[in-house]
Amino acid sequence: MEVIIAKPDELARLAACAYEQLLRRRPDAVLGLATGSSPLAVYDELVRRHTDEGLSFAQARAFNLDEYVGLPAEHPQRYLNVIRHDFTDRVDFAPGAVQGPDGLADDLAAACTSYEDAIAAAGGVDLQIMGIGTDGHIAFNEPGSSLASSTRIKTLTEQTRADNARFFGGDVDKVPQHCLTQGLATVMRARHIVLVATGRSKADAIHQLVEGPVSAMWPGTILQHHPHVSVLVDTAAASRLQLADYFRSTYAAKPAWQGL
C-alpha cells in the first residue's frame, strides 16, 4: 500500500495520470468507476485530458461499484445517471460500455450474479477508483460486511444515509435503504486500486485503513491485503496517521519514472 499526502489538485492529477498511462498502454482497458465527491476532481482532469490532449475512452469498458435499489430509471441520483453526468457522457465511451448493477431488477439476487459474471467476462477491472465512507465503508460494504463478499444487496447504515442526504436535498428519508454493491472480494480482484480521500471527516477512516487491524468493522482495511493500492489523501484526511511524516518522505524520494 502506497500512501501519498498532497494537495487535492495534485491528488487528482496523480489519479488521472494512472488512468491515462493505462489507457495509452491498453486502450481497451476495463475501468472501475465510483460516484460520490471523492473522484469528481479526477473525472474533471480526465475530461480535460480528453478534450485538450486527445485521451480516448472509445475502446474502454467501465463498471460502477454500486447502485441504489428502487430509484426510477430517470432519477438524477441513480448512480448510472450520476456517473454519466459527472464523467462518462463528457468523454467518448462507446454506447453500452459503462455498466452498473441493476437496482430495478425483479430478481435482485440474479442481477448481482449477472453483474459478477459481466465483470469476469470483461477480464476483470484493471484500475478501480474509489472513496471511503466516514465509517470505513468502501463501495457500499458497510461495517460488518464479510471480507469474502461478492456483489449483493445491502442495507445502508443510518450514518451512510445521513452522509448521502446532501444529494437528496438534505432529506434522509429520500435516501434509499437498500443498494446493490460489489463485494469486498469483488473489489479486491481489481488489479490496481486508487483510493482518494480529502477532508477531516475522513481522517478516522484513513487511519484505520492504513494503520489499523484488518477488520470487518472497518471494511476498507481489507485493502491492506491487496498487492497494488494507492491511497491518495490531503493533509486533513491524513491528520490521524502516525506515519504521516514517513509517507511524506517516501513520496518526496520517489523516483520520477515510477507512477502509482
Active site residues: 66, 135, 137, 142
Q: Where are the alpha helices (DSSP H) in the chain?
A: 8-25, 40-53, 79-86, 108-121, 158-164, 184-188, 203-211, 244-252
Name the strands in the sheet holding 178-181, side by side, starting at the edge strand that comes first in the sequence: 66-68, 178-181, 152-155
Instruction: Tell me which residue of 138, 126, 114 sits closest to 214, measured CA to CA.
Output: 138
Q: Are 132 and 218 in contact (CB under 8 A)?
A: no
- The identity of residue 140, as a single letter, is F
What's the number of CA atoms in the CB half-sphere (13 Å) around residue 43? 23
Only one residue has cell 484488518, namely: 214
- Rounded CA-CA distance 80/77 in Å is 8
